[in-house]
Amino acid sequence: MTGPRLTIEGTAPTTPVHLWVLGVVVDAATTVSGRYVVPGRPGPVVAVEAPVAPIAGCAVAGALVVAWDGPGPGAAVRHAAAVAVDEVVQERVWLADLARPTPGNLRDLCLGIDQDVHDTLTTGWFAARRAGDGHVATVSCVLTLDGPVDQPLDLRFRRRSVDHDLRAMLRYSVAVR
């Protein structure tokens, strides 16, 4: 039996689009390490898997998907985006009182992370300087985890003539056999 685990799995569109799928986890381990981003495994089936160490039975986790039309960015751009996401999540974590988590402050943390990550990658410095012309869209779904979750994700990316759809599932299991 293993402990709590976050899993995000989906089928990538067959159109010429590059999807970058990341997990974001705020738990007892990541608040110490400061590394909240969990890189996804690219391919026809996109996947992110991460152990979760709840804080007082709760954690915050979600999916972040960035789409580019064409080949997508290189490793340096993906690394810069991961660092940017880690930094905005860290700022939100510092503002939250995770020593005594409540449903209210975890909900606020979720909303803040979701908005800050979206802003950073779509209108912030990353979008302006790093994303490039092929950037189509960035979408995210951040949830409070206080029990098992099976959340369908129907993520659609539209810009100009580009229209891509990613159907995935975000799962949080408390214990796996």
71-100 pLDDT per residue, tens: 666 677 778 778 888 998 999 898 887 877
Q: How many domains does the chain have?
A: 1
In order of 48, 98, 107, the CA distances from 104 in angstroms are 27, 11, 5
In order of 30, 140, 141, the CA distances from 23 in angstroms are 12, 10, 10
DSSP letter string, 113-150: HHHHHHHHHHTSHHHHHTS-TTEEEEEEEEEEESS-EE
- Residue 35 scores a pLDDT above 90: yes
Give the per-residue pLDDT at 124: 58
Q: Which of 57, 94, 11, 35 is nearest to 172 (CA)?
A: 57
Give the per-residue pLDDT at 75: 74
Instruction: Report the SS3 class of residue 22.
Output: strand
Most confident of 23-27, 75-79, 158-162: 23-27
Query: Would you place residue 42 in the very low, low, confident or very high pLDDT band (cuts 50, 70, 90)?
Result: low
For residues 47 and 81, give the distance between their C-alpha atoms in angstroms, rounded to a whole number. 18
Residue-range definition of the domain harbouring residue 91: 5-173
pTM, rounded to two decimals: 0.81
